[in-house]
Amino acid sequence: MKKLILVTGGQGRFSKILKKNNKHLNLYFSSKNECNILNIKSLERIVKKIKPQIIMHCAALSRPINIHEKNISKSIDLNIIGTANVTKVCEKYNLKLIYFSTGYVYEGKKGNYSESDPVKPFNNYGLSKLGGECAVSMYKNSLILRITMTEKPFLHKKAYSNLKSNFMFHEDLVKILPKLINKKGILNVGGKSQSVYSFAKKNNLKVKKIKAKKSLALPLNQTMNVAKMKKTIKK
């Protein structure tokens, strides 16, 4: 019998795509009401009710990206404290924890970041996800996925030609996720290293090319080395 996976953030953007396209995993998509990550008792109730073997922690505050600068308390609560609560419950009930983190934990200057490279987030969103990683890393029966993904089709009308990344679509992650969940430790997860414009153009011919100005202080090379991921999904 397949292991039951409790998905936090079960009504979020990625979860909707996962629910629609999943073919291989035994998943339970929780609602905010039945799985409040800021309330340990709520987490324990859902664990006792459905008895999962794994928690896939997707619940997070991500957009708009500037909310992490404007509302630090909310960012800390959802991305750090909420993740710490999930980790505590996994430890108490001996559950595997899979944490959806981000490539934004890297500095974004040199590119080709491997999992062992130093982390230095360039904004509060990255810091909040790294804070979550710190809690998860204390629990050895865990997997941290540093993911760079977005919706399909590419939503924006403009894309940076001088900003490199490893974007993949939600659907791409759904396809490879079954081969990743048995791993432990940290794993970079993403697509081909290329400019954001090159990625966007393949799926949205109307997207316009723009250049990121230095004044925006954006990380111009967020690319990750995904060799470990590729080796894992080939097995």
pLDDT digits (tens, 9 = 90+) for 155-183: 899 999 999 999 999 999 999 999 999 99
- In contact, 190 and 226? CB cutoff 8 Å: yes
pLDDT, residue 205, reads 87
% of the chain beyond a pLDDT of 70: 99
pLDDT, residue 215, reads 64
- In contact, 144 and 186? CB cutoff 8 Å: yes
* Alpha carbon distance 140, 128 (integer Å): 20
Number of alpha carbons in the 13 Å side-chain half-sphere of residue 77: 9
> pTM for the full model?
0.96
Backbone φ/ψ region at 185: left (φ over 0), alpha (ψ -120 to 50), beta: left
* Alpha carbon distance 33, 127 (integer Å): 27
What domains appear along the chain, each with residue ranges and CATH number?
Answer: 4-153+166-191 (3.40.50.720)
Backbone φ/ψ region at 217: left (φ over 0), alpha (ψ -120 to 50), beta: left
Reported as a single tens digit per residue, the pLDDT across 45-103 is 999 999 999 999 999 999 888 999 999 999 999 999 999 999 999 999 999 999 999 99
